[in-house]
Structure 1
Amino acid sequence: MKAAAAPGVAGPLDATVCFGAVMHERHVGARNRFVYPTAFLRLPLGSVDRLSVPLLGIDRFNAFAFLSRDHGRRDGSPLLPWMREILRHHGVAEVCDGEVVLQTMPRVLGYVFNPVSFWCCHDAAGKLRVVLAEVSNTFGEHHNYLVHHPDCRPIEHGDELRASKVFHVSPFFPVRGEYRFRFESRGAVHAVAIDYWDGGEQQLTTRVGGRAQALTGGAMRKWLLRYPFMTLGIVARIHWQALRLALKRVSFHRKPLPPIEETT
């Protein structure tokens, strides 16, 4: 499958590139808020290996590269069977008989760090039913949160889905409490809200979103010109914000062992 020739608005199941922003706001102790520009891909896994887009390599090097070994089992094996197996293991495969769209950042000039990627699992009618949030920390560890309604009904704009926090991400928050997810896909806008709650109080607000356009060479050239060092910048910004909090003497939590189970 080749990406559309013109950079127009594509559908939620199409290959797209999104330009937008990420926002974090700490609500307790030393309050802290920042907003940075970002960009990300939305890739339908059923046809990703047939994509042909200038500047974007699929399992090969290019200015941008989407590599199977950066996700799933992290051994380069096909991603869609891995996701289907997780859905079967958790008893939700029957309602996810449609496309799986992976929202993520590619390697940029050979380097990647994805704090979180979202595997959006749809039914045959194109309705979102299940989302797997694939979380990575700066210690090279990974964990997945699988979220859906108890009855697996379609996930609509504004619906809140919860998952207990079991994986260490920031040293300034303990591994307890819960995440509350909300997903939005309206026209060209795709956004995710993740609120962290602990002890009945909201601790952190995170938002990431962008406006989509068809995945073309022109879109990737725009990304390269705007944000050539995006993934390096992500890690630099994480450490800069951590330094700011450390200087404010925010309580520091040592990293525990990662959870035994791969997916919560």
Structure 2
Amino acid sequence: MTPTAYLATVRHVRTTPLQHDFTYRTVTWAIPLDGRDPNSGIPWWQRTFIRFRASDHLGDSGDWRDNIVAFAATHDLDASSWHIVALSGAATAGYAFDPLTLYWCTDPTGDPVAVIAEVRNTYGQRHAYLLRPDSKGVARAEKRFYVSPFNDVSGSYTMSVPPPDRSGFDVRVTLHRPGERPFVATWRGIRPRSLSDRVRLALHLPLAAQVVTVRIRLQGIRLWARRLPIHPRPDHSEELT
């Protein structure tokens, strides 16, 4: 398996204390972490502006897979023989920003073991959740990380994380608080088949990470202008929990 590019659509929906909805397009990759350099599988014409780097994700090692194995060990899991597939953006023109990276982990027989959800905010912090999805690919986790200045760290998540396949992927993250669902994010991708899809993918590739960051910050300014309350950001020094 080599890295697979998807034309992805991300949608954020806020329902309280005010309603806000925005959608953007980007490029997402499914990357096998099998010990080989994932950049070796990128088409030659994309290598001048696309890179996958362990330093853009959790852990201290220079090897992306080794960092996931080390994270699993903090949960008393031996991931040394796991098959691991990451769903992530790439560094484009030397810059990376991935609000969510998912890792599907299966044992040597192909049975699912866990999904790791690595969340990053625009303050340079990140946090990883070890998930145990049910047979429908749905997992639950208490919120532990400050993602947006307009949401504190209270509540819990429901994450629908079925694994990607050759046709696409469909991920949904819902924040729950008593009596409400204040935030829902969907992240869907398709393999480009038509000429128009291939053109859209090619246009998004060179600066995908930069465009995502700009769009998120612009939406933040819009929410601030609508007087949505800002919550103080707590310290967060531990990312591997």
Q: TM-score range by the shorter chain?
A: 0.7 to 0.9
SS of the residue corresponding to residue 173 of structure 1 reads coil
Computed over aligned residues only, the root mean square deviation of the Cα atoms, in angstroms, reads: 2.5
Instruction: Give the superposition deviation at 1:19.
Output: 1.0
The answer to whether 1:244 aligns with 2:228 is no
> What is the 5 A alignment of 1:190-205?
190-205=169-184
- The match for 2:190 among 162, 187, 211 is 211
Instruction: Give the superposition deviation at 1:89.
Output: 2.5
Contiguous gaps of at least 5 residues in structure 1: 1-12, 150-154
- How many residues end up aligned between the 2 structures? 235
SS of the residue corresponding to residue 214 of structure 2 reads helix
Deviations 1:165-221 (A, max 9, x none): 11111111111111111112455121211101122421100011212369xxxx998
Structure 1 residues 222 and 128, CA gap change in structure 2 (3 angstroms): farther
Do 2:11 and 2:187's aligned partners in 1 also have CA atoms closer than 8 Å?
A: yes
> What is the 5 A alignment of 1:1-264?
15-49=3-37, 51-52=40-41, 53-57=43-47, 62-73=48-59, 75=60, 77-93=62-78, 97-149=81-133, 155-157=134-136, 159-185=137-163, 188-212=167-191, 223-258=201-236, 260-264=237-241
Structure 1 residues 224 and 110, CA gap change in structure 2 (3 angstroms): farther
Instruction: Give the superposition deviation at 1:143.
Output: 1.0
SS of the residue corresponding to residue 203 of structure 2 reads helix
Do 2:102 and 2:115's aligned partners in 1 also have CA atoms closer than 8 Å?
A: yes
Q: Percent identity?
A: 26
Structure 1 residues 263 and 235, CA gap change in structure 2 (3 angstroms): same
Do 1:55 and 1:64's aligned partners in 2 also have CA atoms closer than 8 Å?
A: no
SS of the residue corresponding to residue 37 of structure 2 reads helix
Counterparts of 1:246 and 1:64, CA distance in 2: 33
Aligned residue in 2 for 1:10: none
Q: Given the two structures, how large is their TM-score scaled by the length of structure 2?
A: 0.86
SS of the residue corresponding to residue 184 of structure 1 reads coil
Counterparts of 2:192 and 2:66, CA distance in 1: 27
Report the AA paired with residue 125 of structure 1: T
Structure 1 residues 232 and 107, CA gap change in structure 2 (3 angstroms): same
Q: Given the two structures, how large is their TM-score scaled by the length of structure 1?
A: 0.79
Report the AA paired with residue 115 of structure 1: P
Report the AA paired with residue 99 of structure 1: H
Aligned residue in 2 for 1:5: none
Contiguous gaps of at least 5 residues in structure 2: none
